[in-house]
Amino acid sequence: SEREEILKEILKSKQHFNVDELYIKLKRKGSKVSKASIYRTIPLLIEAGYVQEVYRQNAKSYYEVTLDKIPHIHFICIKCKKVIEIIDDQLVELIQKHAKKENYSPLTYHLEIFGICSECRKGV
């Protein structure tokens, strides 16, 4: 089915992606999946816990696979939109400690920090 084809391609993804990029990848492989099908499938995959929206850039949503993904931080440059992923065990432990203290069971989370990357700062 189209949804299975979309899911298989998404699960291969090692980077953040948007609908246009996913559509192009599928088309290059000879798929007949429409962009509308991708737009309809993404919310279902989010609800099922396979992907999450991680940020928006130029009115496009970017997603990442969340299945078996370690919680992490995104540093997002407000100038060039570069995204750097950071995995910090101490931060994960801190979040878990506070969740336990509040008797809270987090299902998933992501932290976005907006700023200016080193390359863009050099040009400032």
Backbone φ and ψ of 42, nearest 5°: -55, -50
Q: Give me the numbers of helices (H) and strands (E) for the chain, helices first please.
A: 5, 5
Q: Can you give the pTM of this predicted structure?
A: 0.64
For residue 20, is pLDDT > 90?
yes
Are residues 31 and 79 both part of a single domain? Answer: no
Q: What is the pLDDT of residue 86?
A: 84
Please identify, among 65, 81, 99, the residue that sits at the C-terminal boundary of a domain. Answer: 65
Residues 107-112: what's their mean pLDDT?
74
Q: How far apart are CA 80 and CA 89, in angstroms?
A: 28
pLDDT digits (tens, 9 = 90+) for 23-64: 999 999 999 999 999 999 999 998 888 888 887 777 888 898
CA angle 46, 77, 56 (to 5 degrees): 30
Domain C-terminal end among 41, 65, 89: 65
Kindly state whether residues 31 and 47 are assigned to the same domain.
Answer: yes
pLDDT digits (tens, 9 = 90+) for 78-107: 888 888 888 888 888 888 899 999 999 876
Q: Clarify whether residues 83 and 57 are in a common domain.
A: no
CA distance 1 to 67: 21
Domain range for 25: 2-65
